[in-house]
Amino acid sequence: MIKYISLFSGIGAFEKALDNIGVKYELVNYCEVDKYASKAYSLIHNVPESMNLGDITKVDETKLPTEIDLMTYGFPCQDISSAGLQKGLRNEDGSKTRSGLFFDAIRIMKHCKPRIAIAENVKNLTSKRMSGVFDTVLSELEDAGYNNYWQVLNAADYGMPQGRERVFIISIRKDIDDRSFHFPPVIPLTKCMGDYLDDNVPSSFLLSEKQLSKIEVSNFQQEKRRIQDRGGICMTLLARDYKDPKCVQIADLHYYNMDMPNRIYSPEGISPTLKTVSGGGGEVKVLKNKLYRKLTPKEYFRLMGFSDSDYQILVDNGISKSQLYKMAGNSIVVTVLENLFKQIYKPVTQSIASLKQQSLDILNNI
């Protein structure tokens, strides 16, 4: 059983991954300032909200235990992301930015001295523009007594049809690091986005006329990028998508006979300019809003590697649709973490297995 402290916990993707691969852990505390995310964490992981340390800036680290095996901290990315102002860890006046809450994680790390600490952030942290920030991150970790291994991993390389590149920093305490850690090898993708989608979703997820006209008239190329091909991989799901969730094409261009709604004509079978159909009668209309729909929050959860029951318990407890989109977009794809943890905890399980085998061999030879 590993002793684990979770910072910037969100809905707990690290915890989900540990559960999924059967690594048992004792949660010391979780730490999440957002009341909806805290409630969601407590529901998904079945722990009381009293275990939440709350705002990390107010955490008195001296009250935390020192014998910790694992600390995870997917610190805020707003000031690192290419979509923001890229202020880095500090404002011009020297105060901490939201991403600068990294320093609070370091403060806790220096006290708790976890054997292993794992950070996750946007790929932009490794960009040329952010090189000073990344150097600071790595040198702070080094000064805290850790060897650091980092790599950008794409969720699509670890079993999930979502293009989501994130940097992972694995810090191993210098006194226990045997330099055997390697990032997980890429796994060929066997699933596509369509495997995670529902066939029937409420009509409220169909695009409105306004959204459709944006796709079809103005800025087509830009809007087209929002449309996902269900046979491929989906783009990075983001917290800000709650305002405008990613869309999927749900049907090819078909023409519906309004008098006989069950008759569907494919573009190959009928000229798009034809207004009436012999035999069918009536006017043929293109029901364009039946072509695309928004992804549902449930599908966001699935594409982040969470289960339908994780999603359902949040819905049953009154978490709103926009909060659900936000939480999913803020989280980490669980299958990536499963593969990462297998690299970290594999040596332990392997050595137990080899010890068992050695004992059996000895017994067999008696």
Ligand X SMILES: C[S@@+](CC[C@H](N)C(=O)[O-])C[C@H]1O[C@@H](n2cnc3c(N)ncnc32)[C@H](O)[C@@H]1O
Q: Is 240 an interacting residue with respect to ligand X (CB under 6 A)?
A: no
78 with 239: CB under 8 angstroms? no
Could you say which of 31, 77, 112, 234 is catalytic? 77
Task: For the chain, report the end-to-end CA distance as a whole number of angstroms.
Answer: 33
59 with 31: CB under 8 angstroms? yes
Query: 9 vs 171, which CB is nearer to ligand X?
Result: 9
CB atoms within 10 A of CB 250: 16
69 with 114: CB under 8 angstroms? yes
Tokens of 252: 């090819």
Q: Select from 4, 5, 8, 237 the one that contacts ligand X (CB under 6 A).
A: 8
Q: Is 51 an interacting residue with respect to ligand X (CB under 6 A)?
A: no
**Which residue stretch of 2-10, 182-190, 197-205, 230-238 sits at the interface with ligand X (rule: CB under 6 A)?**
2-10
Q: Select from 331, 339, 340, 341 the one that contacts ligand X (CB under 6 A).
A: 331
**Which residue stretch of 28-36, 63-71, 260-268, 278-286 sits at the interface with ligand X (rule: CB under 6 A)?**
28-36
Query: 248 vs 328, which CB is nearer to ligand X?
Result: 328
Q: In sequence order, which residues have a C-beta less than 8 Å from that of residue 169 and are 6 or more positions away?
A: 118, 119, 120, 121, 137, 138, 141, 148, 149, 150
CB atoms within 10 A of CB 135: 10
* 77 catalytic residue (yes or no): yes
Q: Select from 28, 32, 153, 265 the one that contacts ligand X (CB under 6 A).
A: 32
Q: Is 11 an interacting residue with respect to ligand X (CB under 6 A)?
A: yes
Sheet strands (E) in the chain = 2-7, 25-31, 70-73, 116-122, 146-154, 165-173, 227-228, 247-249, 255-257, 260-265, 284-285, 292-294
Q: Select from 21, 76, 177, 307 the one that contacts ligand X (CB under 6 A).
A: 76
3-state helix, strand and coil shares in percent for the chain, rounded to the nearest 5: 40, 20, 40
Q: What is the rounded distance in angstroms from the CA atom of residue 27 to the CA atom of residue 36?
A: 20
Q: What is the rounded distance in angstroms from the CA atom of residue 165 to the CA atom of residue 16?
A: 19
- Stretch 87-126 residues interacting with ligand X (CB under 6 A): 101
Query: 151 vs 249, which CB is nearer to ligand X?
Result: 151
Beta carbon of residue 334, minimum distance to ligand X (angstroms, whole number)? 8
Q: Shortest Cβ contact with ligand X: which residue?
A: 10
Site map (CB under 6 A) of ligand X, residues 274-313, x = contact = ----------------------------------------
**Which residue stretch of 33-41, 84-92, 244-252, 263-271 sits at the interface with ligand X (rule: CB under 6 A)?**
33-41
Binding interface with ligand X (CB under 6 A): 8-13, 31-34, 37, 55-57, 74, 76-77, 101, 330-332
Catalytic site positions: 77
